Amino acid sequence: MEVEASTVKTFGRGDFFHHLLAVKYSIKENVLISTASFKTTQSEEIFAAAQKLMPGGVSSPVRAFKSVGGQPIVFDRVKGAYVWDVDGNQYIDYVGSWGPAICGHAHPEVIAALHDALEKGTSFGAPSVLENVLAEMVIDGVPSVEMVRFVNSGTEACMSVLRLMRAFTGRDKIIKFEGCYHGHADMFLVKAGSGVATLGLPDSPGVPKTTTNNTLTAPYNDLEAVKALFANNPNQIAGVILEPVVGNAGFIPPDAGFLEGLRMLTQEHRALLVFDEVMTGFRIAYGGAQEKFGVTPDLTTLGKVIGGGLPVGAYGGRKDIMSMVAPAGPMYQAGTLSGNPLAMTAGIKTLELLQKPGTYDQLNRITKKLADGLLQIAQETGHAAYGGQISAMFGLFFTGEPVHNYEDAKKSDLAKFSQFHRGMLERGVYLAPSQFEAGFTSLAHTDEDIDRTLEAAREVMSSL
Ligand SMILES: *Cc1c(COP(=O)(O)O)cnc(C)c1O
């Protein structure tokens, strides 16, 4: 890409933006085959400038590559299974904007629908029929959802569902699991301490202890720990919230009986069961992990895929519980841009594409090929590894021990993962820049993409 250094330095005064628009179509695509053609000069310059303008140079921390070290890649554009950076390098993408791009980036049908919607305006702040359409799709698709409220992010969905859990039960305490992420609202920013009944200690400065001491934590896949928390806090626990398949501690599926056990325990203690399906919704199956595992929670949070790449979150569930939400009921929750027509349009089109027959078989097949291939290559090249996939979500830990929870995940060889990540990047494969993130595939990924990825993985793992 022919951007001069002097042009890049005008960043922040608007010129750079116009310049990028002007050169958008002149970028020479550099399909990386060997590391020799990998260039990062533009990424480096833009990121250096960004660090002076925004904390850490990013709008969300993991993008800064802190946990793998090295230079983050500055994106220019995305399409299908691929992303291009500002130096013109092309990558096969396994992040998918952290989940939304399940049909492939910038799907032509989604873009066309957005063009049409754009003509009608960008924000209404009033009811629109688009909300009915997406609401109906979510209610039809997700077993637990009888009524839904749209918000703008997964964080907002989880924050609101927590208020609802407390409003409905009149209890303040909640149980979450170590390594599960439910957005950055204060009450969820709790890292589990040692010991089962540890009271929540804030994970970040600025979060008062008084906010998190109602957040109880247990290790994932540990029903006994949850039982103990219920026993020690009688009639005080509003509910249990979890990622039904963990993606935010790396990919960790639920053990047989875990979800069923939580369903029984919560019913026994008249507490609510909440699946945070912001990541797994419409990805593990159309109806999310709850469809896949046949366990129906009381409430569900959604995000990522239902926005089709625009900012959308949602929470929904049993009608009697959802009827507490204002203005139907007394629990306040609102949003200026909630139900935004562009966001609803992208979501509707994305779900329509996912409803086509064979979609999830294809996602599962391609992802299994990748996950199995990575494990086999690790084995053949002498690296201890553990991983797997369900549908379009996969993971690979550099540890020989099975991973059932966050403690197990932390036994991974993080230095090795960092080298692996860098090696793959230099060969045109964009993986999530942390051992503790799941990987995502899309309908745009082809067998050839997977073959190329595995070829790169063999080369990198052989050199580690
Ligand atoms: C991404 C994610 C969130 C937060 O969603 P944002 O849109 O980033 O606020 C919450 N829960 C889970 C399980 C997630 O994966």
Measured from the CB, is residue 249 less than 6 Å from ligand 1?
no
Distance 103 CA to ligand 1 centre (A): 19
- pLDDT surpasses 60 at 54: yes
Kindly state the average pLDDT of the residues 23-48: 75
Distance 82 CA to ligand 1 centre (A): 23
In a domain, 276, yes or no: yes
Q: How far apart are CA 272 and CA 174, in angstroms?
A: 9
User: Looking at 19-172, which runs of residues are DSSP E strands?
Assistant: 30-31, 75-79, 82-85, 89-93, 147-151
275, 268 contact by CB (below 8 A): no
Position 15 scores a pLDDT of 53
Distance 14 CA to ligand 1 centre (A): 31
Tracing tokens 């993991």 back to the chain, one arrives at 62
In a domain, 70, yes or no: no
- pLDDT surpasses 50 at 48: yes
Position 26 scores a pLDDT of 40
Measured from the CB, is residue 303 less than 6 Å from ligand 1?
yes
Mean pLDDT of the chain: 92
In a domain, 40, yes or no: no
Q: How far apart are CA 410 and CA 73, in angstroms?
A: 26
Residue-wise pLDDT tens digits, 423-451: 999 999 999 999 999 999 999 999 999 99
Token couple for 152: 């703008």
- pLDDT surpasses 70 at 28: no
Residue 277 alpha carbon, nearest atom of ligand 1 = 13
Measured from the CB, is residue 245 less than 6 Å from ligand 1?
no
Measured from the CB, is residue 277 less than 6 Å from ligand 1?
no
- Of residues 393, 392, 395, 394, the one with CA closest to residue 361: 392
Measured from the CB, is residue 154 less than 6 Å from ligand 1?
yes
In a domain, 327, yes or no: yes
3-state SS assignment for residue 236:
coil
Share of the chain above pLDDT 70, in %: 91
Position 70 scores a pLDDT of 86
Distance 88 CA to ligand 1 centre (A): 30
Kindly state the average pLDDT of the residues 229-244: 98
Q: What is the DSSP secondary structure assignment for residue 177, as one 8-state letter?
A: E
Nearest 5°: phi and psi at 393? -135, 130
Instruction: Give the range among 34-38, 98-102, 366-370 with minimum mean pLDDT.
Output: 34-38
Range with top average pLDDT, 35-49, 176-190, 407-421: 407-421
Kindly state the average pLDDT of the residues 83-110: 97
The tally of domains found in the chain comes to 1
- pLDDT surpasses 90 at 170: yes
In a domain, 317, yes or no: yes
Position 22 scores a pLDDT of 45
Distance 159 CA to ligand 1 centre (A): 11
Position 14 scores a pLDDT of 52
Q: How far apart are CA 364 and CA 353, in angstroms?
A: 16
Residue 248 alpha carbon, nearest atom of ligand 1 = 15
Residue-wise pLDDT tens digits, 188-204: 988 633 333 345 667 78
What is the maximal distance between C-alpha atoms in the chain? 66
Residue 276 alpha carbon, nearest atom of ligand 1 = 13
Residue 279 alpha carbon, nearest atom of ligand 1 = 15
Residue-wise pLDDT tens digits, 389-416: 999 999 999 999 999 999 999 999 999 9
Range of the domain at 347: 108-354
Kindly state the average pLDDT of the residues 275-282: 98
Position 264 scores a pLDDT of 98
Token couple for 165: 């859990």
Measured from the CB, is residue 433 less than 6 Å from ligand 1?
no
Segment (H or E) for 111? helix 108-119
Instruction: Give the range among 7-16, 23-32, 152-161, 368-377 with minimum mean pLDDT.
Output: 7-16
If one compares 16 and 363, the residue with the highest pLDDT of the two is: 363
Q: What is the CATH number of the domain that holds 302?
A: 3.40.640.10
If one compares 211 and 432, the residue with the highest pLDDT of the two is: 432
Q: How confident is the model at residue 17 (pLDDT cuts 50, 70, 90)?
A: low
Kindly state the average pLDDT of the residues 200-227: 89
Q: How confident is the model at residue 262 (pLDDT cuts 50, 70, 90)?
A: very high
- pLDDT surpasses 70 at 331: yes
- pLDDT surpasses 90 at 276: yes
In a domain, 338, yes or no: yes
Residue-wise pLDDT tens digits, 283-312: 999 999 999 999 999 999 999 999 999 999
Instruction: Give the range among 140-144, 203-207, 222-226, 240-244 with minimum mean pLDDT.
Output: 203-207
In a domain, 241, yes or no: yes
Give per-residue burial for 304-326: e unless 16+ CB within 10 Å, then b.
bbbbbbbbbbbbbbbeebbeebe
Query: So which residues are the catalytic ones?
Result: 181, 276, 304
User: Looking at 165-271, which runs of residues are DSSP E strands?
Assistant: 173-177, 190-191, 201-202, 215-218, 237-242
In a domain, 49, yes or no: no
Kindly state the average pLDDT of the residues 83-107: 97
